[in-house]
């Protein structure tokens, strides 16, 4: 399809200019959003101060109520000699001290109120000492003496000073509450108005952008149809490739195996066979990803390891494989974990079959898998001749074992090598978060 070069250049120029304008507008919206967030934070802070003031007022009133409760309990005891009233007295006295401590913490930001709290604490202590002294006289000198102290005492004066001081504190907090409430209301109105403005501008920008894009789309529709057709062809081709990856890997593995059987060098033949098993391990993961026309992003790990173990047995080998899967339930692993795990298990099994049973020696290779929380443990063990000390070290071994170490680091796992009597044990531990397969 022929394309007008001048028209395309003009459209690109218009788009570039529109992109710069959109960038400026979006930057302005972002700054506006930040301002909206700041206003909201200030509003929440104002609301918190309003709640704080209410709490101070409530605490001041509770101090008076607790002192009155303690006084009522003392008088009830003096009048009835019922010691149950002492519980009310002690409860009121203790709560008064607790509330005064709390009031001191609440007014830490207000030095004037701190001074009043200090004075209130002294008055409350005097009144509680007076109440305690009357009770002591009642126990030591008798009820009549205690009643005389009540009539002659300065309780009324002390409680009057407490009442006046509490009223003063309450009045100051009421003034603070009124100012803070006005501030919160102003910020609320500002936030609502600014939010509506922000949404209006954002909506206008969205509508204008959509219209501009629509006009640009209409201008490029003919050119876009050709591009869309090409994109559709590429999408179909990509789907076809995804469905044929497993078969292609199988062909590669068979070619490697065929080439190995024809090669005269035993060393080269073994390397080709090892490469073939690695390709088969990856192919097994793809088979499970793209089976039956569905595409998934997870692989069932226990079945995958079982298949890898079965495929790793040499066709003419002398070892005998046995498996004991500790986990019977399904465990879905993401592809980025399943592929390295498949290659690691394949390498460990290949290593055991290749080196553990030389000169026709027979033996057993075991593969166990267990899940503990979000951690998977895969145990590959054999009863063969065992690894040399230098190979079992953290840096020893050939290409296969070093590949295992690299893949283990890739999945953030740990590989432990233990020399048994007889045999060798490889313990792979790595974290995993089980996921539910989802269709791609």
CATH 1.20.120.30 placement within the chain: 5-217
The CA-based angle 80-81-85, given to 5 degrees, is 80
DSSP code, position 319 = E
Topology (CATH) of 5-217: 1.20.120
Q: In which order are the strands placed within the sheet that holds 414-419?
A: 319-325, 363-372, 375-382, 424-431, 414-419
Query: In 10 A of CB 206, how many CB atoms?
Result: 10
What are the residue ranges in the chain where pLDDT is below 50?
A: 1-3, 154, 238, 294, 317-319, 321, 323, 440
Query: Model's pTM, two decimal places?
Result: 0.44
pLDDT digits (tens, 9 = 90+) for 147-163: 666 665 545 677 788 88
- Return d(Cα 298, Cα 332) in angstroms, integer: 6
CA 70 to chain centre: 50
Q: Given this model, what pLDDT does residue 92 score? A: 85
Topology (CATH) of 230-431: Heat Shock Protein 90 (3.30.565)
CATH 3.30.565.10 placement within the chain: 230-431
Q: Given this model, what pLDDT does residue 412 score? A: 92
């Amino acid at each position: 399809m022929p394309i007008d070069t001048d028209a395309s250049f003009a459209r690109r120029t218009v788009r570039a200019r529109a992109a710069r304008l959109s960038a400026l507008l979006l930057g302005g919206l972002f700054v506006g959003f930040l301002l909206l967030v700041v206003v909201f934070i200030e509003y929440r802070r104002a609301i918190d101060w309003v709640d704080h003031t209410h709490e101070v007022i409530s605490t001041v009133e509770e101090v008076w109520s607790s002192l009155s409760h303690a006084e009522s309990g003392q008088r009830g005891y003096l009048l009835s000699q019922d010691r149950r009233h002492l519980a009310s007295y002690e409860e009121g006295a203790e709560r008064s001290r607790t509330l005064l401590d709390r009031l001191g913490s609440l007014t830490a930001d207000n030095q004037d109120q701190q001074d009043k709290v200090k004075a209130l604490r002294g008055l409350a202590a005097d009144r509680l000492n007076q109440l305690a002294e009357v009770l002591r006289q009642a126990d030591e000198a008798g009820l009549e003496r205690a009643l005389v102290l009540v009539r002659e005492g300065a309780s009324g004066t002390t409680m009057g000073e407490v009442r006046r001081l509490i009223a003063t504190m309450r009045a100051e907090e009421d003034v603070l509450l009124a100012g803070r409430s006005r501030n919160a209301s102003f910020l609320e109105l500002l936030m609502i108005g600014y939010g509506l403005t922000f949404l209006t501008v954002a909506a206008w920008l969205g509508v204008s952008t959509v219209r501009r894009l629509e006009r640009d789309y209409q201008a490029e529709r003919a050119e876009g149809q050709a591009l869309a057709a090409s994109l559709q062809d590429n999408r179909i081709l990509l789907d076809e490739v995804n469905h044929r990856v497993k078969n292609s890997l199988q062909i590669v593995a068979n070619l490697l195996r065929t080439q190995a059987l024809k090669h005269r060098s035993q060393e080269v033949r073994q390397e080709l066979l090892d490469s073939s098993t690695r390709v088969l391990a990856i192919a097994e993961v793809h088979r499970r990803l793209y089976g039956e026309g569905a595409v998934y992003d997870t692989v069932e790990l226990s079945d995958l390891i079982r298949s890898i173990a079965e495929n790793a047995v040499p066709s003419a080998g002398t070892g005998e494989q046995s498996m004991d899967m500790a986990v019977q339930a399904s465990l879905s692993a993401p592809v980025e974990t399943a592929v390295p795990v498949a290659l690691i298990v394949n390498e460990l099994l290949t290593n055991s079959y290749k080196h553990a049973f030389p000169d026709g020696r027979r033996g057993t290779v075991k593969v166990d898998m267990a899940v503990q929380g979000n951690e998977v443990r895969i145990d590959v063990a054999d009863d063969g001749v065992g690894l040399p000390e230098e190979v079992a070290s953290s840096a020893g071994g050939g290409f296969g074992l070093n590949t295992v170490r690299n893949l283990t680091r890739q999945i953030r796992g740990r590989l432990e090598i233990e020399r048994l009597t007889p045999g060798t044990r490889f313990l792979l531990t790595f974290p995993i978060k089980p996921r539910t397969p989802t269709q791609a």
